[in-house]
């Protein structure tokens, strides 16, 4: 299934199931609880890949949550970022560091991965790339935790763990250009829809293949604007209710479960975010991850709030309240 505009219902999927943990507890305690379920292979020096946001961005993961997680549970952890492809407040390392101060990321010395240059990682089985350019400092880490604010995206449809890693670890000049722009084209953003999703995913595959079993994923389904955090204060108002936090060792399973939770909401709650996913053909991220054998799109969702019982997306979103900013 290569049509990224079409959502594939769970009963149309095939293959094995992976474990995805769920909590409704949108707090530092909830985040720490889920991290404890997927941290068994997170060892050594840990890259915590986080979107730290444009200046004063209203929807990023709260700083105090991340501070509590790193200080209490990941003593060898460090937030990592790369510079932006577009000109703005994160375009150069100097501008990026000022934005980090504005947004309060002062408790951790954030590692801007491409500050000192780039490195090439192999892309196995890709159709667009054989190698992907990432920030060279990524190679200094033993493990990767993708700590992702799940939301919409102006070009990707949605931003989950795949987008956080694929765009977020690619360096600002070479890697991001490989994903966004056909060489020689005047339009910096000319690549879109299925090809764009496939390029993001091949970039992600290069990074997670590099870390192997030493990678884990958390998606925070909170303040889910249809806009990415790269739009900062210009992001569209949030109308989708907050849902909870997911964690998994399977990147495809966690992004699939995140999308399923949004679709499980009543139509009047999910209309805008679903329209963004489908109109940008964002579902190709999921189907291409499956083609590249990056994980399973079927999963067992574990309700950590209720004795680790199995829960389904329709049950997990029961009782959600309208978003209040």
For 176-193, write each residue's pLDDT tens digit. 999 999 999 999 999 999
What pLDDT sits at residue 228?
Answer: 82
Residues 6 or more apart whose CB falls under 8 angstroms from that of 280 comprise 4, 153, 154, 155, 156, 157, 192, 193
Question: Which tens digit of pLDDT belongs to each residue from 127-179?
Answer: 999 999 999 999 999 999 999 999 999 999 999 999 999 999 999 999 999 99
Distance from the Cα of residue 184 to its chain's centroid: 29
Instruction: Say how far apart CA 186 and CA 278 lie, in whole Å.
Output: 27
What pLDDT sits at residue 234?
Answer: 72
Q: CA angle, corner 121, sides to 117 and 122, nearest 5?
A: 155
Going from the C-alpha of 255 to that of each of 136, 148, 244, the distances in angstroms are 26, 10, 14
Name the stretches of the chain with pLDDT < 50: none
Please state which CATH number belongs to domain 10-316: 3.40.50
Coil vs helix vs strand at 118: strand
Rounded to whole angstroms, the maximal C-alpha distance in the chain is 56
What pLDDT sits at residue 235?
Answer: 79
The answer to whether 22 and 304 have CB atoms below 8 angstroms apart is yes
What pLDDT sits at residue 1?
Answer: 65
Instruction: Say how far apart CA 201 and CA 199 lie, in whole Å.
Output: 5
What residue spans of the chain are helical by DSSP H?
Answer: 28-35, 63-73, 93-102, 161-166, 175-180, 193-211, 251-264, 267-279, 284-291, 313-316
**Structure tokens belonging to residue 321:** 């309240």
């Amino acid at each position: 299934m290569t049509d990224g505009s079409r959502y594939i219902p769970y009963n149309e999927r095939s293959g094995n199931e992976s474990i995805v943990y769920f909590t409704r507890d949108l707090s530092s305690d909830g985040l720490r609880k889920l991290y404890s379920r997927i941290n068994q292979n997170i060892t050594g020096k840990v890259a915590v890949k986080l979107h730290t946001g444009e200046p004063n961005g209203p929807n990023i993961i709260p700083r105090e949550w991340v501070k509590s997680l790193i200080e209490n549970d990941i003593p060898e952890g460090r937030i990592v970022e790369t510079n932006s492809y577009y000109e703005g407040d994160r375009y150069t390392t100097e501008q990026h560091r000022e934005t980090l101060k504005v947004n309060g990321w002062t408790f951790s010395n954030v590692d801007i991965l491409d500050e000192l240059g780039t490195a090439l990682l192999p892309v196995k089985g890709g159709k667009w790339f054989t190698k992907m350019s990432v920030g060279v400092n990524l190679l200094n880490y033993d493990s990767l935790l993708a700590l992702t604010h799940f939301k919409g995206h102006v070009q990707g449809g949605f931003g989950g763990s795949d987008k956080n890693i694929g765009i977020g670890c690619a360096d600002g000049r070479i890697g991001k250009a490989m994903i966004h722009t056909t060489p020689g084209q005047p339009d910096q953003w000319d690549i879109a829809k299925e090809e764009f999703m496939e390029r993001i995913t091949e970039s992600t595959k290069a990074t997670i293949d590099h870390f192997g079993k030493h990678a884990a994923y958390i998606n925070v389904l909170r303040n889910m604007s249809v806009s990415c955090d790269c739009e900062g204060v210009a992001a569209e108002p949030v109308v989708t209710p907050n849902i909870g936090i997911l964690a998994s060792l399977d990147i495809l399973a966690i992004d699939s479960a995140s999308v399923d939770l949004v679709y499980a909401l009543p139509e009047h709650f999910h209309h805008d975010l679903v329209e963004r996913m489908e109109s940008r053909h964002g579902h190709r991220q999921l189907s291409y991850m499956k083609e590249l054998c990056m994980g399973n799109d079927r999963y067992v969702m574990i309700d950590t709030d209720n004795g680790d019982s199995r829960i389904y997306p329709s049950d997990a979103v029961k009782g959600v309240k309208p978003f209040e900013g």
